[in-house]
């Protein structure tokens, strides 16, 4: 009997040690599967929409005489709901009714206020004060965009920002500000108000660029540590390309649209966006590549000899 009790005790101790890790691994795999499925559904839905711009109206500035902001809600009700199964839609004053949490944990482990983060995200996405470096004319427009939320049939909660004035890529080969290329940004929670409400687990983001021939990205940002990978003493681009796969075969550099999405969602991720640029895998030609400036939103053309650092994302 004593031997049986001892054996059961040992089994219990081992189970107590290994079960949390095992459960965590199962959850990680489940979230990863759900994340990929959600991205696939949104990619298919966006591809079915003829154009992404022009839905509803946006409030211009902070004037009380400005038009009522209906853009995000109208995009969901008149556009997205026609190509995607949606259960419930909530305006900006009732986001919690669609399962949007009031607090979350970003990738650095810091607890954040969702309303405060949404305010910063809105500013990053819709500040359209441009210096035109392409020879054309951009009119100044400070947009005050409200978000809306919805729940899918699969139980995901989505907080959506929308820019009805988004424009095409125009195949630029010179540096330009990217804010007006942004059409939609969606912060998703795979299980609504249930925990852990943590970015990289049940919370993530999907971004859409360009009103036609749209590009949909959902960068799964990797944080083994909080330091960006460096390109080496000489700053060579070819060195930088190898650093992500050197950490893990399933890691890579983001492309320019993924990096742009990371810029918009930097508060959600926990990135310091004040003083650095993000090198990407997107090339201009054999000697130049795209970098994303996190202080201005500019997509910059940089020669391969003088590249900066970057971040890795999962495949």
Contact 296, 207 (CB under 8 A): no
Instruction: Please report the pLDDT score of residue 18 as a whole number.
Output: 52
Contact 77, 90 (CB under 8 A): no
Using DSSP's 3-state secondary structure scheme, residue 76 falls into helix
User: What residue has token string 């390109």?
Assistant: 231
Beta carbons within 10 angstroms of residue 4's beta carbon = 8
What is the pTM (predicted TM-score) of this model? 0.85
CB proximity list for 108: less than 8 A, separation 6 or greater: 223, 226, 270
| Structure tokens belonging to residue 286 | 């054999």
Q: What is the mean pLDDT of each run of 10 residues along the chain (315 residues)?
A: 63 53 65 94 96 84 60 94 94 92 89 85 61 40 75 94 85 81 94 92 95 94 64 73 85 93 87 72 92 87 87 84
* Vertex 307 angle, CA 304 and 308, to 5°: 165
Instruction: Please report the pLDDT score of residue 127 as a whole number.
Output: 57
Instruction: Please report the pLDDT score of residue 272 as a whole number.
Output: 61
Contact 133, 300 (CB under 8 A): no
Instruction: Please report the pLDDT score of residue 295 as a whole number.
Output: 80
The rounded distance, in Å, linking the Cα atoms of 147 and 126 is 12
Contact 168, 211 (CB under 8 A): yes
Instruction: Please report the pLDDT score of residue 290 as a whole number.
Output: 94
Which residue, among 41, 32, 36, has the nearest Cα to 202 in the 3D structure?
A: 32
């Amino acid at each position: 009997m004593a031997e049986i009790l001892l054996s059961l005790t040992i089994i219990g101790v081992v189970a107590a040690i290994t079960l949390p890790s095992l459960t965590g691994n199962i959850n990680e795999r489940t979230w990863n599967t759900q994340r990929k499925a959600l991205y696939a559904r949104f990619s298919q839905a966006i591809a079915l929409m003829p154009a992404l711009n022009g839905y509803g109206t946006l409030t211009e500035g902070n004037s009380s005489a400005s038009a009522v902001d209906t853009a995000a809600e109208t995009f969901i009700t008149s556009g997205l709901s026609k190509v995607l199964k949606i259960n419930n839609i909530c305006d900006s004053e009732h986001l919690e009714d669609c399962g949007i949490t009031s607090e979350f944990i970003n990738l650095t482990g810091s607890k954040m206020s969702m309303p405060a983060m949404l305010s910063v995200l809105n500013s990053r996405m819709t500040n359209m004060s441009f210096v035109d470096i392409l020879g054309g004319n951009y009119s100044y427009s400070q947009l005050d965009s409200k978000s809306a939320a919805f729940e899918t049939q699969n139980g995901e909660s989505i907080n959506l920002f929308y820019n009805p004035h988004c424009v095409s890529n125009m195949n630029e080969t010179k540096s330009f500000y990217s804010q007006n290329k942004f059409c939609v940004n969606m912060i998703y929670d795979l299980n609504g108000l249930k925990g852990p409400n943590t970015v990289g687990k049940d919370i993530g983001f999907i971004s859409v660029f360009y009103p036609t021939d749209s590009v949909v990205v959902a960068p799964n940002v990797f944080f083994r540590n909080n330091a960006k990978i460096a390109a080496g003493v000489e700053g060579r681009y070819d060195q930088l390309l190898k650093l992500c796969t050197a950490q893990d075969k399933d890691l890579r550099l983001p492309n320019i649209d993924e990096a742009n999405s990371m810029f918009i969602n930097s508060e959600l991720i926990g990135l310091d966006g004040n003083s650095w640029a993000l090198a990407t895998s997107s090339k201009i030609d054999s000697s130049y590549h795209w970098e994303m400036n996190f202080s201005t939103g500019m997509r910059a053309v940089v020669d391969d000899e003088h590249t900066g650092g970057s971040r890795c994302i999962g495949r």
